[in-house]
Structure 1
């Protein structure tokens, strides 16, 4: 696949049905070196297809046919959050440059996460979700609240998007993702930052 510099791009719009190579495979290769937002376009409507796409690293999943106005709004929303992510501007918590919780240190100015001194690469959405929890350490967020805060759209009852991104984030930051201590599940409600220990 043609190599590209992440510095030349801010967002990727990727069709799953490509003529020579599967779009999901293209995305998998991109995710090896890049965290920029990826919007998948597809005619596949099944929930399992969406979960697979999000699980492999997509930030959004747009089913054809779609409204041009909705498409443009989604692109603008992802670009706005990605540019916040890379410029260090912090609309949710503008006062803090470094946010610390247990072994995690999120440097908002440099957009980097370290755990016990080791750098952890996050996608823009994973970064935004973690920053949201760190910004409000005592708050329990419902899936609807997380979706509205991070994606900036009305929640339509699809919990898979939030659950997949939380799972991916846990796989990167937790010592034991099946026994999370940084992002806890509050059964029947949603998620919250784990208590200090």
Structure 2
């Protein structure tokens, strides 16, 4: 059963409907105090696979943004925002700050439930592979640091990454030498179908290569698998 944290700044009957719908014995919802300091928040978030914010009114925007920024510093768990207002307020702002998905007022409960469940299922599958590889030797020349959202190259060069860059690289890192399709990567990062937006993944990979490759045109680590996607060669 997944543990999901819930943060809201005002009681709302609609929130109870969302929680009742999503609470289908697959998840354990716990309401958090939104005034937690960074140390307590880090210790608390280690217990959760995701956090759901409820945006009830315009005044919630700044509070949610501040909380997302805090969480990004101490955790890589999923962050979702559900708006219960008649119109979206800060969808692009939340996404730019690192939210994995923002659900508008018109989004059906069934759609929200599927997107959250799919994300958690994929995460559990990847974690299972990671656990199975726990006792295998680590590549000293290439190590991921979740706490810093960075990668260590050659044992001495730590490269800071954006949240999206880290999530893609971490996904590839968990299954080295295995090709991931554009669709698989896109769904993991954006929690929605890719459609014709594969250029988003290509753009992030472009910037990743600029940061970690000696020659981005002749990459050592992130290989392009023609007509499919990318793999990490470590």
TM range (shorter): 0.5 to 0.7
With normalisation by structure 1, the TM-score equals 0.59
In 2: Cα distance, 1:125 partner to 1:166 partner: 8
Match among 157, 163, 177 for residue 137 of structure 1: 177
Match among 119, 130, 133 for residue 96 of structure 1: 133
Match of residue 4 from structure 2: none
Contact 2:187 2:193 in 1 (8 A): yes
Give secondary structure in 2 for the equivalent of 1:80.
helix
Runs of at least 5 residues in structure 1 that lack an aligned partner in the other structure:
none
- Cα RMSD between the aligned structures? 4.8
1:2 aligns with 2:35: yes
1:29 is displaced (CA, Å) by: 1.8
Query: What are the superposed Cα offsets for residues 10-56 of structure 1, whole Å, 9 maximum, x if unpaired?
Result: 3111246652552233211221112211013354499xx54x54442
1:149 is displaced (CA, Å) by: 6.4
Structure showing greater Rg: 2
- In structure 2, relative to structure 1, the CA distance for the partners of 1:63 and 1:167 (3 Å cut) is farther
Match of residue 156 from structure 1: 195
1:33 aligns with 2:33: no
Task: Give the count of matched residue pairs.
Answer: 181
Match among 74, 98, 102 for residue 57 of structure 1: 98
Match of residue 12 from structure 1: 51
